[in-house]
């Protein structure tokens, strides 16, 4: 099994939607553009958003187990995926890339 690098590429904040539909939150997303996390395929990286992990984990597991070419040619790098978390108010785009390092 391979490690998977997770890079935060873009973080968007839809303030108009937040003001119109969301109840006030005490705490929201902690990641920043450029943050990098390493997943070992079966557990959430330390300090990684639980909600984002729920969305990303199936893709991380696929890549970690040698899966390639997700969605038949969607990505230029067949050992990667670009996935966004499921927060409609402040979506974050993550680049997942298979590393050559094995998990032990």
Write out pLDDT tens, residues 27-75.
788 899 999 999 997 789 999 999 999 999 999 999 999 999 998 989 9
Strand partners, 94: 8, 83
Closest CA to 63 of 38, 92, 10, 99: 99
| pLDDT at residue number 48 | 93
Strand partners, 36: 7
Closest CA to 29 of 93, 103, 73: 93
23 contact partners, CB below 8 Å, separation of at least 6: none
89 contact partners, CB below 8 Å, separation of at least 6: 13, 14, 17, 18, 21, 22
**Mean per-residue pLDDT of the chain:** 92
Strand partners, 11: 92
């Amino acid at each position: 099994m391979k490690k998977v690098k997770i890079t935060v590429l873009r973080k968007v904040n839809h303030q108009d939607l937040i003001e119109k539909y969301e109840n006030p939150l005490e705490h929201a997303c902690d990641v920043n553009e450029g943050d990098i996390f390493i997943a070992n395929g079966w557990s959430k990286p330390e300090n990684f958003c639980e909600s984002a992990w729920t969305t990303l984990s199936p893709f991380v597991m696929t890549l970690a187990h040698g899966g390639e070419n997700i969605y038949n040619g969607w990505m230029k790098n067949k050992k990667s995926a670009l996935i966004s978390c499921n927060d409609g108010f402040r979506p974050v785009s993550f680049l997942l890339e298979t590393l050559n390092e094995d998990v032990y």
